[in-house]
Amino acid sequence: MKTELRTDITVGDICKGFHYNTLEGKGVRGWNGKLIIQPEYQRNYIYANGKDDVAVVDSLLKKYPIGLLYFLKVGDEYEVLDGQQRITSFGRFVSGQLDVLDANGMPRKFDPALHGWLLKRPLTIYICEGEGDDPEREIKEWFKTINIAGKQLTEQEFLNATYSGPFVTSAKAVFSNSSNANMQKWKRFVSGDERRQAVLTTALDWVSKGHVEDYLKDHRYDTGITELTAYFDSVIAWIDGTFKDVKDEMCGLEWGRLYELYHAKGYDIDKMWERIEALFADADNGIVKNKRNIFEYVLGGETKHELLKVRLFDPKIAKRVYARQTEEAKAKGVSNCPDCVLAHSTNAKRIYAFNEMEADHVTAWTKGGDTSEANCQMLCRHHNRVKGNS
């Protein structure tokens, strides 16, 4: 990789021919047309909030440094790799599209008489150019360095940069686009900020079965994204058709995995929703500890009890039951594990210590038994394990 540190390029140079797209809220070109301010893979301009953007200009006006900018040289053009937010902010100011507050707190536009000196202010720019056998890897490594130095890119922003091309561009237009009419519907089930590529990551994760990077590598130069959108739509449609209603806990579940496991099965959706409501009531009563796993538990036919992290017996209850059971067993001359007695094993008369026993639901929790003292018995560890998770 060739690198060059430039300190001769000024704010005025970069603002020459600055072009800001108000509709999409992004800086497009600068530096007399040769600088691409927002390459397609970059995050959207998120400084346009009258605070962060104003702060950038304010720093410049106070002659504070605004930090290192990184450009990537591609042929005769340059792409901003890091600094897009800052460049767009001062570009908007200099071109009269952003007001800053003056000393009296009054909004003020760029005024050549007052602010002309700003145009002569040099910036600190690091220009890099990929070379060698694997420029892609080089740029990727370099991005990691930038990440350490400055603000964090999300994993997906990083991958978008590494595998930029027609596929990422098209995919972003659908999945990273806040004005997409489907976005609100999707976000009932997909968590994260679409502007930071969270929805795109999920869509890629689902279609690639978790192999996002390989998928991007394979499809980098595809001009269509049909498989990606079709798969994503199938998963969303399956969730919509399988669950009668929507709960907050459904947002961000591993729906891609659940879809693969269960979409071919048929469900009585009324009955299933009834069970979900019942288990949510158990969760409100503190019995089911993992609410979010209720959906997977029900989809799987209520067999994987470990998913719910069902509350165990209070140790005080277990100790009381142990004392009572042991006293009765000693009086009868039998083991204090009722199942050892029934098994007529060599342990039929063994009195176990408290720490050799475990509390068990007499009527299994899965069959409606509650976690109360009346439904608690102590079993030796062996018999509790034999009885299984109940």
Chain residues that interact with Zn ion, rule: CB under 5 A: 337, 339-340, 380, 383
Taking the least distance from each CB to Zn ion, the nearer of 82 and 358 is 358
CA distance 302 to 166: 44
CB of 361 to Zn ion, least distance (A): 16
b/e for 315-335, b at 16 or more Cβ within 10 A? eebbeebbeebbeebeeeebb
106 CB-contact burial (10 Å; exposed 0-12 / middle 13-18 / buried 19+): exposed
* Number of CB atoms found within 10 A of residue 4's CB: 11
Taking the least distance from each CB to Zn ion, the nearer of 124 and 345 is 345
CB of 322 to Zn ion, least distance (A): 13
Taking the least distance from each CB to Zn ion, the nearer of 16 and 350 is 350
Whether the Cβ atoms of residue 352 and residue 335 lie closer than 8 Å to each other: yes
Whether the Cβ atoms of residue 124 and residue 115 lie closer than 8 Å to each other: no
CA distance 116 to 110: 9
Taking the least distance from each CB to Zn ion, the nearer of 229 and 347 is 347
b/e for 186-211, b at 16 or more Cβ within 10 A? bbebbebebebbbbbbbbbbbbbeee
CB of 349 to Zn ion, least distance (A): 11
Taking the least distance from each CB to Zn ion, the nearer of 219 and 361 is 361
CB of 338 to Zn ion, least distance (A): 8
Q: Which residues contact 313 (CB under 8 A, 6 or more apart)?
A: 359, 371, 376
Taking the least distance from each CB to Zn ion, the nearer of 172 and 383 is 383
